[in-house]
Structure 1
Amino acid sequence: MYLEIITPDKRVYEGDVTSAQFPGINGGFEVLNNHAPLISALGNGTVKITPTTGAQVFFNIDGGVVEVQNNKIIVLAEAVTA
């Protein structure tokens, strides 16, 4: 899967991942390869990414929206800290 995390100021992350966990407004959820299409609001919390080529990466976000479609994940976040 391909993941992009974008804020109003910059692109924070882009690359291939095997999984991504998100802080949904009604609870956390995980996206894996071939996930059904999805649009969800995100709350404040930690995004946990497992890249295909390395150790897990964590980002703290201040809310936003995630879209999943055709093995591509786009996160539009208010603000992100690593």
Structure 2
Amino acid sequence: MPITHSDRISGTIYVIAASAERAGDRAISYLRTKTDDEVKDYGVFDEQDDAEKDLHNRYNSYDPETDRVYAVSLDIRIADEK
């Protein structure tokens, strides 16, 4: 789900991180910056397959106890909308 400027953002992004807290921090940093050149620096992806591939490529034989792919669901909208 490519993120664009609008009144509503909803969907899921996938983050490579060592914990849910770190995934949340990375997702927030990504949403603040969100330029294509910097996406890989945050380990944030629009598709789960892309995140999984990057995790395996980055760490070849990675330890699932140290880094995993987390799904971060977004529903950012104007408060009056239901």
> Normalising to structure 1: TM-score of the pair?
0.24
Higher relative contact order (CA 8 A, sep 6+): 2
**Higher share in helix:** 2
**Higher share in strand:** 1
Which has more radius of gyration? 2
> Normalising to structure 2: TM-score of the pair?
0.24
